[in-house]
Structure 1
Amino acid sequence: MSRRVEQKKAARVVREQLARERRRQRALWTSVAAVVALVLAGMIGWAVYQTQRGGEYTAPPGAVADDSGIPIGDGPVTVDLYADFLCPACRQFEQQVGPTLDQLVEDGRITLVYHPVAILDRLSDDAYSTRASAAAGCAAAGGKFEEYAAALYEQQPAEGGPGLSEERLIAIGGEVGLDTGSFGRCVRDDTYAGWPAHVTEQAGRAGVSGTPTVLVDGATVASSAQAITAAVDAAG
């Protein structure tokens, strides 16, 4: 075999080896890219999961076991009320059904658990639902949750604009008998600012999709005085 032929064969072998090496490198980098993609997908999925969870929060003293609401009374039948302080239907509910709930509490028939959710932040310029709920947490800490909630409904702002200012929220506290010094510090320091998100998250887990929503011993009932009273009678 001539020297020229041997050189050609050697060159071909080298080319084949180089081609195999390039294929191996491509396969390696493809595998690396796939692993990186999986890792990134996992990181993104975890980030989404984290954003969907409630963040850190402080619940007002006396909140129920899962921190999702404020209990009023100590009767044997539990009535859960989910409401948003910016919700016009909730204001109407407070006016029309509130006295019935107050009477049931006073008669020792129910424990009313008030869940101040914040689902209507998008309908105000300043996340009013969250701010009002957090301020109500401060009122709960001061022992005036019921009175403060009623006052918030009496002075409910219109949807689509600014909510009540921080100073107005504090002034309402004074109007219902709270010490404006300690209550004002609680509001200004955002003591319970993270709590409304937790309340809202727990409401979603309970299947609540709108406000007002009423449950009597865990069963959803119509938001009327007659329906609630009938359900309490049946449960008691």
Structure 2
Amino acid sequence: MSKGKRDRTTKARQIVEQQRAAERRRTVTIWTSVAVVVVLFIAGLVGYSLVSNQDDGKLTTPSAAVDEGTAFAFGSGPVTVDIYEDFMCPACNNFEQAAGPALKQMVDSNKITLRYHPVAILDRYSNGTEYSTRASAASAAAAEEGKFVEYHDVLYANQPAEGTDGLSNEKLIELGKTVGLTSDAFAGAVNEGTYKAWATQATEKFSERDYTSTPTIVVNGEQLKGPNDTLPSVDQLTAAVEKAAG
């Protein structure tokens, strides 16, 4: 083969290889573009799903709520007593068993305005079921039907232990029926989580007010504690109310 012919053959092979390399690059580019489009499409679906879920969980503040929509008030006495509680909190239950009757008596005697603030700081103790949030939301649904105190009391009477799944929505509805919450509206609010976003916001307000544990008891704006940051006794609570009343 002559040198000229060999050069032409070599050049032809180079052109073919260049064309093949260019084709491979085009193929990679095409599939890369397809992959990018697919990723963007999936991201769009995920984003839409998140937005949809946010819409489903939109904030619905109970019409009965007071104090920036965080509490439910009872009585009209001159001294305001605020109680911040988590329905899974054992200390809250202990406080209610000890001080609940005295607080109700002070409401009935027109000495205090009692404001219950359901908060949800113990969701981590219910194995991912968000019991604190669900119970708080259910109490808001009860408040809308004028049964907050009754439902509040029955939730504490049936309080689940920390570290369990808590009560199911079915059980929350069943307990509601025992105190007269028999409407479809109440059951629907529990099953649909109507007030879950509200429970989250109320808990955020609790934190913004620099409270860190439950129960937190506040008398006319002053947090009340027992010795060494323990729970205040009934006598301390009574004395604080009398002092605030002047």
Counterpart residue type for residue 129 of structure 1: S
The question of 1:177 aligning with 2:186 is answered no
Cα displacement string for residues 21-66 of structure 1 (whole angstroms, at most 9, x for unaligned residues): xxxxxxxxxxxxxxxxxxxxxxxxxxxxxxxxxx952121221140
Asked whether the equivalents of residues 85 and 132 of structure 1 are also in contact (C-alpha less than 8 Å), the reply is yes
- Counterpart in the other structure of 2:212: 209
What pairs with 1:1-236 in structure 2 (closer than 5 Å)?
A: 56-125=58-127, 126-222=129-225, 223-236=232-245
For residues 164-208 of structure 1, give each alpha carbon's deviation from its aligned partner in whole angstroms, at most 9, with x where no partner exists.
010100011110111242211121122111111111111111121
Aligned 8 A contact 1:173 1:180 in 2 = no
Post-superposition offset of 1:224? 2.1
- Count of equivalent residues: 182
Give the Cα–Cα distance (whole angstroms) in 1 for the partners of residues 195 and 187 of structure 2.
12
TM-score (norm 1): 0.75
Structure 1 alignment gaps of length 5 or more: 1-54
Q: Distance in 1 between matches of 2:243 and 2:59?
A: 37
Contact 1:170–1:180, Cα closer than 8 Å, also in 2: no
Check conservation: 1:136, 1:148, Cα contact below 8 A.
yes
Consecutive unaligned residues in structure 2, runs of 5 or more: 1-56, 226-231
Q: Secondary structure at the match of 1:97?
A: helix
Instruction: Please give the per-residue CA displacement for 1:185-236, whole angstroms capped at 9, x wherever unaligned.
Output: 1211221111111111111111211011100000011232111111110111
Q: TM-score, normalised by structure 2?
A: 0.72
Tell me, yes or no, if the aligned pair for 1:80 and 1:216 is still in contact at 8 Å: yes
Percent of aligned pairs with the same amino acid: 49
Work out the CA distance in 2 between the residues paired with 1:210 and 1:231: 20
Q: Aligned AA for 1:97?
A: A
Distance (Å, rounded) in 2 between the aligned partners of 1:127 and 1:145: 20
